[in-house]
Chains A and B, each alone.
Chain A
Amino acid sequence: MKIQFKGLTVAMIAALSVVACGKKEESQPAAAPAAPAVPEVVVKLGHVAPLTGPQGHLGKDNENGARLAVEELNAKALEIGGAKVKFELLSEDDQADPKQGTVVAQKLVDAKVNGVIGHLNSGTTIPASKLYSDAGIPQISGSATNPKYTDQGFKTAFRVMANDVQQGKVLGEFTTGNLKAKKIAIIDDRTAYGQGLADEFEKAVKASGGEIVAREFTNDKATDFAAILTKIKGKKPEVVFYGGMDAQAGPMAKQLKTLGIKAKFLGGDGMCTPEFIKLAGDAAADSQYCSLPGMPLDKLAGGAAFKETFTKRFGGEIQLYAPYVYDAVMVMADSMKRANSVEPAKYLSEIPKTDYQGVTAKIGFDEKGDLKGGAISLYQVKDAKWAYLETLGGAPAAAPEAAAPAPAAAPAPVAAPAEKK
């Protein structure tokens, strides 16, 4: 086979020269030289989330939380290790795709960032965490709930909210305890998130004496659940639990009503959104419950103030995890302060010793890097809105001193996660 060698070699030489003369990416280590005048050192923090795609609104929300934190830190003009510190946010888009997540992680590692906040989805956080661990870069996630993230045993992996093990446990105990249900049916959408949460829920229900009468499955693109719901109807459950997202939970609630299934409907944070209420239409009823890690912002000490500052800076509502990401940045900075160094190798050992009062909770980490005592809040549909019910689990965060907690009328976080992993 003849290949046009001349053309090919010319093309290759041209390509090589373009690349070789291309922009060199600066990779400055962020060490702080002890110069006589107070020098300035730039601390680069990487932040990764899906900024485009179905969860773009959530990713942007996370990024805003991180940005707010960085701006506030810079306004404080901290001095660490004898140098004035200026934080810089390197924001990257991983599109909720594991492959893309590793590419972006490589990019941040190459840029020698001092720390990484993120990612958003468990599906991307887990593979990326290996790259960060290999490079010794600390990583704190404000939204990845899959237990595997910290199970891997990486010293650099941390998270500042409850994971799905805790969420499933709380939901299970709520079902057998508060809802006093004995027969429970479970459906999950066969995604890493949905199935993980449903498995934990099942374990918790069985452990607290409940009986699983049916375990059915669908997928995250389906709209017709009549067949599996009919099968469940035959087993007469008192509660139907769905591990999955609002886009399926909505039509499912509708079909539950059409089929005349009188059970209560329960879901995790994927269902805890205004989208669910919209899609369920007039099938939304007060027999529907959901859970969210953390506590409603208004019940937290710094909550109301944070909300105001956030809304003023970025306009629009907080979607879901912005406060957690904000806390993640603050924890990282706090660890740097305590270690008196911005170098990953030095401040990494300070992170496990964190005892920090954040906007979302009092933050401390256990041996795996999980949040110690993560709280889970439960919500119930009332008047076509998610209304706060109660909080289970977790160490109580400092309650707001002035205002008494308003009864069951705290506005639920506005969120519309399309797909979580």
Chain B
Amino acid sequence: MTPKLRRVIGLSLVAITLAVLPFVVGAGLSNTWVRVIDFALLYVMLALGLNIVVGMAGLLDLGYIAFYAVGAYVYALLASPHFGLHWPVWVILPLGALLAGVAGVLLGAPTLKLRGDYLAIVTLGFGEIVRIFMNNLNAPVNITNGPQGIAGIDPLSIAGVSLGKSVEVWGLTIPSVHLFYYVFLVLTLLIIVVSMRLENSRIGRAWVAIREDEIAARACGINTRNMKLLAFAMGASFGGVAGGLFAGFQQFVSPESFGLLESVMVLCMVVLGGMGHIPGVVLGAVLLAVLPEALRHIAAPAQQAVFGKILIDPESLRMLLFGLALVLVMLYRPAGLWPSPTRKREFDKAAR
């Protein structure tokens, strides 16, 4: 079998699996798991966006979730009873991505001269500032409706078909969660393709150069300032897209979904999966998105069976495992679970 044929077969198998996944999962487990997969896809998009900033360009961003928030609120403000606007999806999503990108440039601009640790803290500060503003911009002019959040957001609708309800196609009823899955899947694949193209382009190589040694990169003629801003903007725009989809999916946004913990979670996904390596990042995102649900299904009954009561509730267990995973991965596999071969070499050389 020639390599080309193998690739074609492999790709088609993957494609078929992805295409029927929701139906298999829905029938085999339940629709709840399809919903979990939908959220996992959103996280994949987020992780890929953060991957550009942290993994490729090496800029530690602890406030990334702010861009997710921007995208979500843009959608919420333009397609809900809050302002009475009901713009179509194909206008709002790109607009959200654009605004998030602008936010990325704005937040990135002051940080250009900062080194790793300081950059992390400043971006953390920015993330918190965005969240506090979202939480409080309801007086004197009610923009974000404050802590109550915005409810009743229009569900995503493609070509006039609302995804909020199930759809009849050729006698088959496709539930709403499945429809969202397909839309998210298409966009995720799009983002993956864009990431891959960026990685293998001059821009991607410039980012890696900056990550490795900024002074040398500048000496080679790379415009580090513009490249860094571009990294922030691209990463942020992915986050904005994911945010818009989130608003159209959950139909409710509130500032508490966009806290520091979410930023750390997305960072976890990138770091644990394999910084800078797209398949690794996807793996990390899927794992960490599915983990809480899996823990709830396994940990609680298991503890019940073994100990007769729940010693550590699944939520605490999840956080414990996160913390532990961060430390252990940094100590023993700093390049991540599925790193790119070059990064693995770098980290192995540097550590210990």
Contact = CB atoms under 8 A, between A and B. Distances in A.
Partners in one complex: yes
Interface of A: 1, 3, 5-6, 8-9, 12-13, 16, 19-25, 51-53, 56, 93, 95, 98-99, 102-104, 106-107, 109-111, 123, 126-127, 130, 134, 146, 148, 152, 190-192, 194-196, 217
B252 A98 contact: yes
A25 B28 CA distance: 8
B25 A19 contact: yes
B256 A98 contact: yes
A102 to B, nearest CB: 6
A14 to B, nearest CB: 11
B10 interface: yes
Given A99-B250, A103-B35, A123-B256, A12 B17 contact: yes
A38 B31 CA distance: 34
A148 B252 CA distance: 12
A192 B147 contact: yes
Contacts of B250: 98-99, 102, 127
Q: Which of B17, B27, B32 has the most CB of A within 10 A?
A: B32
Contacts, number: 116
Contact of A21 (B13, B28, B135): B28
B88 interface: no
B212 interface: no
B39 interface: yes
Given A5-B11, A111-B30, 11 more contacts: A1-B199, A1-B200, A3-B279, A25-B29, A25-B30, A56-B313, A99-B250, A110-B30, A110-B32, A148-B148, A190-B146
21 contacts: A1-B196, A5-B11, A6-B6, A8-B10, A9-B14, A12-B14, A16-B24, A19-B25, A19-B28, A19-B29, A52-B315, A56-B313, A93-B296, A98-B254, A99-B250, A106-B31, A127-B151, A152-B151, A190-B135, A192-B149, A195-B146
Interface residues of B, number: 48
Interface in B3-21: 6-7, 10-11, 13-14, 17, 21
B152 interface: yes
A9 B136 CA distance: 49
A106 B136 contact: no
Interface string B68-87: 00000000000000000000
B47 to A, nearest CB: 17
Contacts of B147: 190-192, 194-195
Given A52-B314, A56-B313, A106-B35, A134 B24 contact: no
B171 to A, nearest CB: 20
Contact of B313 (A53, A190, A192): A53
A261 to B, nearest CB: 25
Contacts of A126: 151, 252
Nearest to B249: A102
- The 5 A-B residue pairs whose C-beta atoms are closest, nearest first, are A5-B10, A52-B313, A127-B252, A107-B32, A19-B28
Nearest to B277: A1
Contacts of B251: 127, 130
A190 B315 contact: no
Contacts of A99: 39, 250, 257
Contact of A9 (B10, B36, B254, B296): B10
A192 B17 CA distance: 42
A95 B314 CA distance: 10
Contacts of A3: 10, 279
Q: Which of A9, A107, A111 has the most CB of B within 10 A?
A: A9
A1 B278 contact: yes
Contacts of A146: 148
Contacts of B94: none
Contacts of A109: 31
Contacts of B252: 98, 102, 126-127, 130
A13 B39 CA distance: 22
A93 B147 CA distance: 23
A128 to B, nearest CB: 9
Contacts of B13: 9, 12-13
Contacts of B314: 52
Contacts of B152: 130, 152
Contacts of B136: 190, 217
B314 to A, nearest CB: 7
A195 B199 CA distance: 46
Contact of B27 (A6, A24, A130, A194): A24
A12 B15 CA distance: 11
Contact of B257 (A98, A106, A191): A98
Contacts of A191: 147
A23 B28 CA distance: 6
Contacts of B10: 3, 5-6, 8-9
